[in-house]
Amino acid sequence: MKLRNIAIIAHVDHGKTTLVDQLLAQSGAFRENQRVAERVMDSNDLEKERGITILAKATSVVWKDTRINIVDTPGHADFGGEVERILNMVDGAIVLVDAAEGPMPQTKFVVAKALKIGLRPIVAVNKIDRPDERHIEVINEVFDLFAALDATDEQLDFPILYGSGRDGWMATAPEGPRDEGLAPLFDQVLAHVPEAEAEKGPFRMLGTILEANPFLGRIITGRITAGTVKPNQTIKVIGQDGKTIEQGRVSKILAFRGIERQPIELGEPGDIVSIAGLTKGTVADTFCDLSVEQAIPAQPIDPPTVTMSFIVNDSPLAGTEGDKVTSRMIRDRLIKEAEGNVTLKIEESADKDSFFVSGRGELQLAILIETMRREGFELAVSRPRVVFKTDASTGERLEPIEEVVIDVDEEHAGVVVQRMSERKADMVEMKPSGGNRQRLVFYAPTRGLIGYQSELMTDTRGTAIMNRLFKAYEPYKGEIAGRRNGVLISNDSGEAVGYALWNLEDRGPMMIEPGWKVYQGMIIGEHNRENDLEVNVLKGKKLSNVRSTGKDEAVRLTPPIRMTLERSLAWIQDDELVEVTPKSIRLRKVLLDPTVRKRADKSREVA
């Protein structure tokens, strides 16, 4: 059977996964009476909850005697490492663009990688039925983007389709016809994307996606570059340095057939398959015949820009809610994660009780923490810090700079510009983006953007959309002011009392409710002033046997601030930690004892 391998590239919320649903349905991958979940490719619980794709996944459909392998890629820059590897497996790309928003930073990031390795894109303008669609300007923006990314004349001569992934139609004109479904898109893929070709020689495959299966062990997915592979065949794994990592027998070969993976008896060149049976081979390694000596070169991965400390939980409530609390368990879990996720870097501290985990952004690290807490882990994590570098020639300190695109209503543009300038951002562009909205483009240090998302939502009444993309390492921009308010700290351990919280409300907003367990050094609220304040939240009302003529006032508490994991990570300072357990997220000081804390503050002032 003829083969085509394509990737679907788009920004967050531009409709990739929804389009894949329709491609599967219209190609006959589902039975007529089969119940299918919405966004079937988002199989992970966190993906379903957040409505974003985190892990790249492959599927396949058959159209007119041709098998089309489709790879659904993440749309968020924090998961860009997935995309960079995936592009090695495909021969073409569908660039999906929203008919109103146009090409966004993440589209630019992935398209740049795709054009660089020579993929010829098909542009699909999605959501053409939006009332604020502007397809002519969007196509011009796409062309300008491709030209700016040094696309070849052949790549600039891209076919254009218009349609709605949700309604399941695509056509060569914005008005339709709509009754042909996605047939025009399938036909365009067959006509425009080159057939999957194979190189001469014995079996070779570059590992691209790694996963653990409870029945089959490690499964590595990749595209067969040359030769064929069968179950029970002995193969070897070569690292990027050319050294042999292991030899082993292939226990099973799985291929994508619709949304299911099925065992096959022969992996053919050009096809995307999964191999089980090897214990050490990982992403970017070459899986090959015993006679092969040279590794397949892998695409270089952009470096991590943000780091956090994962620390063994040592609070008084440690071990009461989770069952995985030791440093050995945390270490094993992080190493397992780093095997499959090439953008993560794990380093162990000297005392073995904490680990430095570096990644692309705070969202990527927050997803890892959220996944771990759902698996039963308890740990404490520090505030995200950026990874600095030193210029080899000048010795100058460099920091990561990001391109930030903010779409905002005109009335709020002023406050956004002011807030970004406070964060040492340089504005490079300001233009109308339709519907009384402005598109602001900044170059901003990553340090200044940590924690800005929630502040942006407050300043713009939830109407702004912010997109970020790593640009480059540039000279250090200087100090950036952090959080301005201090915190309210519990001075004792026990259960919080409603009466005490009610009396403390004029000191600042609370983060806990009556009945919650607290301990000395735990943060229970935000102080109205700049200094930290120790307070007693365990103090109940003194009762006597004398009845007063006036009725006791009922305690009416203001609802507390709900601190989600991402909000907590962005809000804390360097001397604070987030304690994460399967049931709770608590904020605390690194040093719980107030005497030790004061001594540390004094020594810092002297220094």
Provide the annotated binding site for GTP: 13-18, 126-129
CA distances from 22 to 18, 31, 165, 256, 490 (A): 7, 14, 7, 17, 54
Give residue for tokens 């968020």: 76
Q: How far is CA 299 from the centre of its chain?
A: 20
421: amino acid identity, one letter: S
User: What is 430-465 written as a DSSP string?
Assistant: EEE-SSSEEEEEEEEEHHHHTTHHHHHHHHTTT--E
C-beta separation of 427 from 414 below 8 A: no
SS3 of 261-287: EEECCCECCCCEEEEECCCCCCCCCEE
C-beta separation of 34 from 268 below 8 A: no
Question: Within the chain, how many helices (H) and strands (E) appear?
Answer: 15, 32
Burial (CB count within 10 angstroms: exposed 0-12, middle 13-18, buried 19+), residue 212 = exposed
- Give the integer Cα–Cα distance in Å for 254 and 261: 6
**Residues of each annotated binding site:** 13-18, 126-129
- Give the integer Cα–Cα distance in Å for 579 and 228: 50
Q: Is the dihedral of CA 265, 268, 274, 275 positive or negative?
A: positive
Nearest Cα neighbor of 569 from 583, 593, 585, 591 is 585
- Give the integer Cα–Cα distance in Å for 511 and 554: 21
| Dihedral angle computed from the Cα positions of residues 115, 117, 119 and 120, in that order, rounded to the nearest 10 degrees | 50
Q: Per DSSP, what are the bridge partners of residue 589?
A: 576
